[in-house]
């Protein structure tokens, strides 16, 4: 039986009120990794429901999974020992961080199966039952293992090695399964069912249990060589290999069990023959026989002879059939070769007989060309008729084999051409396969880092994605695992980037109920009313957030300017900047705009945003690269004074302003600078996120908020950062296809976004 005839089937039952934390791990290696190092699995349990348990078990999974398949050796035992050593080191770090109380509750078995070879390490109460030829063997003495104190410095200290007998099955599981099922019951289930059916039977028997017991296990089946638990010398990693007892008493029960578990030094000739070696040997023998037989011989073609020609060996029927097919294909290829030669000769004849417009025909040139054309057609028709006649002379079987051979040749030629176009060599595929392995490693490292450092995890996932993008999608490596890895990375990045995707955002206001052609550019929230400013005039519309109704506040503006930005000035008023350069106070009670004079020492200005903070109004002047501060006196403002004193704080392309005591400036490239007392804070920087924040249109914070909110129109999202620059959250939706403005109301835990003429609500 080949190494691929292997199954590792999980069994997992976890209840909401379960008294323990259980996990199952089965690795998903690439075909090359599986060929070299087999399949890795683990059954894990911690006898408590502490919140840290899942983190501990995930660390074990991530470390053992990544380091095992990253091994520099293809020797399974050495690679497994090295991975356990790395796991020991990482668990020592966790013990230093969270203590070692959980060690006494840890029950775990980690194993590798490669073909018939089995290696595993265990801690605590985990059972390992092997069923073979009606007998059940308890490979581990769990009582003895549990009585041993776990060394915090070297948690995984022992490994067991062996080989699985042919047609055997092993159940690795948490010991709790023996509280409900006897070994005899387990044996019958494993003997009478396929692994997946056995897992389902176990599930049906255990899931209905009314207690709070959790169960975890894997069923491993392989038909190859017979189990022998061996002892090896202590490795360089100081992880000794010990003999495990093979029965409950700790020794072999009988001579028959000795024979069952003894290692067999079996050669390749004693293994069950695979199809290809048998076919290859049969074909070779057949053609050797044909060479040695006289052409007129009448010997039965279903027999072949040994090298000394002493006795015939009767060939199996399937080999006879395959040899007949091979002979037919060979004949078809010979036919194809012949017809190719005839076609070439025919084409040469066509070109040799192609008439030239020579004067020997007489008549004008048109007549000469017509006669020449007829001559070429006649020659071509003659050639085609010869081909048809030649093909018609075949027997039915010859015609069939000829057509099959022709199809095979066409497919082969197409694959060669396609391969040439792709220009992907064997060396390329090897390189891509290695890259896939490196990507797997980065993903596992990222998952481990996510427990402690989200930014490091994000960087690792982005690096994995960038590596994946270097592999051509038409390569075999990408076709095999590329799409799967792309999906895994995308999911991991969504978690690492705290992305909340809103499928159906809540619609709170729709200004098109006033006019289907209405266009809204800016918003101001005053109390429970959201005022929308028309993009094409000074018309203003009111939206009631409580009733979700809309109405007109100003319908006949007295001038043609439009609102370019709008901010809240007081609980009941707002200030807007108009397209003609003037500023105006908006009063919804009087339903009017009142011009506001904002003078400075600069005659020319380009004001892109205004913020009212306390009794002062700040203007962002990108033309002069300055922030001006104006003191407010009732509804008027004094002449502004330059507030920014740091020449290194460039305001080029600044689009939005926010103040909480410090001043934050958003640039259109998504960058934010923080200013204090007129100087730039060089220590402040936003965390790198994914997708990259390349544009920004609106920034919000105030003295009562702990967050910075950025509206990203291009990215269809609102990005939230902490005031230390760390990423807090991202809110996105496919519905956000025309984002124009944003209002943040932390009092109601809401963000209101203006998308076209509609306002959507995002819950914080």
Q: Is 398 exposed, middle or buried (0-12, 13-18, 19+ CB in 10 A)?
A: middle
Selection from 570, 567, 669 nearest residue 608 by Cα: 567
On whether the CB atoms of residues 390 and 369 are closer than 8 A, the answer is: no
Per-residue pLDDT reduced to its tens digit, 333-389? 555 555 555 555 554 444 444 444 444 444 444 454 445 555 555 555 565 666 776
Average pLDDT estimate for 734-741: 96
**Given a cut of 60, is residue 251 above it in pLDDT?**
no
Residue that the structure tokens 């490979």 belong to: 139
Average pLDDT estimate for 155-179: 84
| Predicted local distance difference test score (pLDDT) of residue 416 | 57
Residue that the structure tokens 């094409």 belong to: 536
In three-state secondary structure terms, 423 is: coil
DSSP element (H, E) containing 66? helix 53-68
Per-residue pLDDT reduced to its tens digit, 78-113? 888 889 988 888 888 888 888 888 888 899 999 998
**Given a cut of 90, is residue 721 above it in pLDDT?**
yes
Q: Residue 505 and residue 586: Cα distance in Å, rounded?
A: 30
Most distant CA pair in the chain: distance in Å? 122
Q: Residue 543 and residue 743: Cα distance in Å, rounded?
A: 13
Question: What torsion, rounded to 10 degrees, do the Cα atoms 717, 722, 728, 734 define?
Answer: 0
DSSP classification of residue 211: S
DSSP element (H, E) containing 88? helix 76-98
Selection from 63, 471, 22, 356 nearest residue 216 by Cα: 22
**Given a cut of 70, is residue 240 above it in pLDDT?**
no
Q: Residue 26 and residue 42: Cα distance in Å, rounded?
A: 7
Q: Which two tokens stand for residue 92?
A: 């020592």
Residue that the structure tokens 């019951």 belong to: 185
Q: Residue 214 and residue 176: Cα distance in Å, rounded?
A: 8
Give CA angle at 142 (155, 110), nearest 5°: 45
Per-residue pLDDT reduced to its tens digit, 623-664? 999 999 999 887 789 999 999 999 999 999 999 999 999 999
Per-residue pLDDT reduced to its tens digit, 497-543? 999 999 999 999 999 999 999 999 999 999 999 999 999 999 999 99
Q: Residue 170 and residue 85: Cα distance in Å, rounded?
A: 26
Q: Residue 170 and residue 138: Cα distance in Å, rounded?
A: 10
Look up the pTM and report it: 0.49
Cα–Cα distance list, 555 to 72, 546, 657, 742 (Å): 76, 23, 30, 23
């Amino acid at each position: 039986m080949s190494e691929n005839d292997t199954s590792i089937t999980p069994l997992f039952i976890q209840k909401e009120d379960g008294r323990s934390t259980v996990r199952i791990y089965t690795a998903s290696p690439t075909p090359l990794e599986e060929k070299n190092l087999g399949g890795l699995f683990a059954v894990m349990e911690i006898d408590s429901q502490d919140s840290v348990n899942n983190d501990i078990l995930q660390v074990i999974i991530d470390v053992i999974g990544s380091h095992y398949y990253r091994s520099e050796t293809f020797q399974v035992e050495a690679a497994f020992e090295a991975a356990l050593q790395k796991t020991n080191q990482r668990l020592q770090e966790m013990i230093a961080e969270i203590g070692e109380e959980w060690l006494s509750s840890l029950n775990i078995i980690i194993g590798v199966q490669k073909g018939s070879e089995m290696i595993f390490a265990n801690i605590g109460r985990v059972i390992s039952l092997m069923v073979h030829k009606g007998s059940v063997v308890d490979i581990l003495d769990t009582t003895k293992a549990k009585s041993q104190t776990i060394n915090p410095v070297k948690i995984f200290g022992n490994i067991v090695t062996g080989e699985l007998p042919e047609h055997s099955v092993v159940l690795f599981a948490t010991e709790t399964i023996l509280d409900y099922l006897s070994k005899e019951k387990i044996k019958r289930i494993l003997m009478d069912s396929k692994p997946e059916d056995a897992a389902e039977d176990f599930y049906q028997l255990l899931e209905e249990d009314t207690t709070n017991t959790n169960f975890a296990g894997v069923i491993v089946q392989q038909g190859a060589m017979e189990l022998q638990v061996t002892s090896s010398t202590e490795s360089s990693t100081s992880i000794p290999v010990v003999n495990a007892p093979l029965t409950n008493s700790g020794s072999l029960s009988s001579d028959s069990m000795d024979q069952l578990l003894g290692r067999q030094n079996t050669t390749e000739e004693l293994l069950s023959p695979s199809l290809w070696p048998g076919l290859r040997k049969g074909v070779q023998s057949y053609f050797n026989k044909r060479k040695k037989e006289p052409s007129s011989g009448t010997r039965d073609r279903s027999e072949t002879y040994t090298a000394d020609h002493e006795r015939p060996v009767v060939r199996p029927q399937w080999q006879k059939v395959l040899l007949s097919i091979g002979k037919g294909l060979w004949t078809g290829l010979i036919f194809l070769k012949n017809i190719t030669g005839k076609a070439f000769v025919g084409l040469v004849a066509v070109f040799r007989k192609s008439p030239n417009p020579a004067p020997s025909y007489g008549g004008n040139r048109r007549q000469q060309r017509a006669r020449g054309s007829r001559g070429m057609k006649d020659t071509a028709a003659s050639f085609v008729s010869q081909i048809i006649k030649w093909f018609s002379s075949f027997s039915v079987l010859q015609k069939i084999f000829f057509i099959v051979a022709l199809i095979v040749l066409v497919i082969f030629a197409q694959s060669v051409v396609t391969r040439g176009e792709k220009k992907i060599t064997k060396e390329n595929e090897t390189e891509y396969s290695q890259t896939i392995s490196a990507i797997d490693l980065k993903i596992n490292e990222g998952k481990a880092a996510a427990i402690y450092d989200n930014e490091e995890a994000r960087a690792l996932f982005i690096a994995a994605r960038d590596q994946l993008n270097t592999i051509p999608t038409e390569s075999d490596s990408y076709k095999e695992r590329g799409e799967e890895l792309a999906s895994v990375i995308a999911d991991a990045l969504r978690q690492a980037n705290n992305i909340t995707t809103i499928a159906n955002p809540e619609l709170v206001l729709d200004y098109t109920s006033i006019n289907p052609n209405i266009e809204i550019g800016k918003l101001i929230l005053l109390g429970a009313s959201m005022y929308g400013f028309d993009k094409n005039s000074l018309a203003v519309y009111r939206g009631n957030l409580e009733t979700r109704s809309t109405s007109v506040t100003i319908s006949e503006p007295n001038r043609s300017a439009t609102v370019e930005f709008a901010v809240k000035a007081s609980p009941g008023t707002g200030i807007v900047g108009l397209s003609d350069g003037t500023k105006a106070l908006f009063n919804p009670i009087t339903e009017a705009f009142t011009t506001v004079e904002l003078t400075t020492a600069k005659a020319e200005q380009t004001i892109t945003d205004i913020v009212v903070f306390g009794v002062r109004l700040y203007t962002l002047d990108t033309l002069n690269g300055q922030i001006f501060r104006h003191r407010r006196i009732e509804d008027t403002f004094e002449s502004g004074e330059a507030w920014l004193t740091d020449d290194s704080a460039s305001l080029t392309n600044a689009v939005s302003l926010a103040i909480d005591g410090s001043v934050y400036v958003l640039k259109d490239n998504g960058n934010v600078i923080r200013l204090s007392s007129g100087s730039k804070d060089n220590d402040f920087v936003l965390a790198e996120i994914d997708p990259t924040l390349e544009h920004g249109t609106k920034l919000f914070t105030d003295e009562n908020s702990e967050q910075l909110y950025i509206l990203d129109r291009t990215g269809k999202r609102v990005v939230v950062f902490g005031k230390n620059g760390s990423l807090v959250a991202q809110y996105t939706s496919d519905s956000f296809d025309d984002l124009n403005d944003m209002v943040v109301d932390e009092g109601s835990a809401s963000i209101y976004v203006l998308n076209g003429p509609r306002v959507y609500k995002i819950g914080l």
